[in-house]
Amino acid sequence: MRTREKHPKFLSKLRSISKGKLSGDSVFKIFVTLIACNVFIVLGLMFFQIIQNSWLSIQTYGVGFLVGKIWQPFPPNSSSLPSFGALPLIWGTLVTSAIALALGVPVSLGISLALSEFAPKRFSYVISFFVELLAAIPSVIYGLWGIFVLIPFLQVNVYPYLQASLGFLPIFQGTIRGPSVLTGGIVLAIMIIPTVSAISRDVFAAVPNSQREAIMALGATRWEKAKTVMSYGRSGVIGAIMLGLGRAMGETMAITMVIGNSFNMFSSFLEPGSTLASIIANEFTEASSPPVYISALMEVGLILLALAIVVNGIARLIIWRSTRKVREVGLI
């Protein structure tokens, strides 16, 4: 029979199990393989349950959910249906992440260049220890610091001057409030620095020394050497940036605590806002009825999950391809 021809080893293993003659090696292999299957089960179950729980909302609101701008679990007129729309949340997530990248990436690149190209080795070791410490601080403590330290500071020392000088731009107009989209973006920027700088450092470290030597032999300055390294590792850095983006998009507690939690399609960064993650953190435990309320929050979670996986997936692909290129081309 074709099955027997195609899978002789598997069938003989089944035969030995049934005869009770299973070797230690086989038992071991089966055991660890089964345990390693946990990842399939967890991811599968996760997607299944979130989609299943979102289904009511997906059916009720359809594509309108993605472009809807109203979030009304309890409509004033009790006979009308609740409305849910995620556009302001998507907007909030994207804008805060963009601000985080705009502020955080230059700082991260500066750090990784300083540590990989300019600073003496022992100094690098100590400094990178501290930068990694930034990554160890829990999100909720970033949020606490954001509320009680950063916001007062920004409200008094930064935002007024920002509005005074750049207030002609719509994004810096309006009443200055502490909790705002811009504050959220700033906190996120700090939080992505360890990620982006660490990966950029790895990317720069993977640039073969022969490249550095070649450009130095042509009489380049240290800064020009650094520019060469950056351009060689360009795609890896893009990957690092995208990983930072993924991190920023998934961030929950810190952003919930400083963004003001107001459901609106803000036009100024000084306004409060909401993100996909923050609305879940704020409303999930209270959303007992109607059933479509929780389902809508589930759908928000689904959108967030999909975004995070896609962005991170693309990021890893880019990084993998860039380090592969370096390995293929750069090594002698």
Instruction: Please tell me the distance from the alpha carbon of residue 11 to that of residue 22, in angstroms, as a whole number.
Output: 13
Between 101 and 268, whose beta carbon lies closer to another protein? 101
Angle between helices 181-206 and 234-250 (to 10 degrees): 150
CB of 111 to another protein, least distance (A): 5
The tokens describing 320, both together, are 């993998």
281 Cβ neighbours under 8 A, 6+ residues apart: 252, 253, 256
Instruction: Please tell me the distance from the alpha carbon of residue 276 to that of residue 65, in angstroms, as a whole number.
Output: 13
CB of 135 to another protein, least distance (A): 9
Between 33 and 77, whose beta carbon lies closer to another protein? 33
CB of 28 to another protein, least distance (A): 4
Between 153 and 329, whose beta carbon lies closer to another protein? 153
CB of 164 to another protein, least distance (A): 23
CA distance readout (Å), 34 to 11, 193, 331: 18, 38, 39
Between 29 and 327, whose beta carbon lies closer to another protein? 29
Instruction: Classify 260 as helix, strand or coil.
Output: strand
- Determine if the peptide bond prior to 290 is cis (ω within 30°): yes
CB of 316 to another protein, least distance (A): 7
Residues 68 and 86: beta-carbon distance below 8 Å: yes
Place of tokens 């360890």: 194
Q: Which of 308, 258, 318 is nearest to 96 (CA)?
A: 258
Between 127 and 162, whose beta carbon lies closer to another protein? 127
Between 99 and 111, whose beta carbon lies closer to another protein? 111
Residues 88 and 273: beta-carbon distance below 8 Å: yes
Beta bridge mates, 72 = 83
CB of 21 to another protein, least distance (A): 10
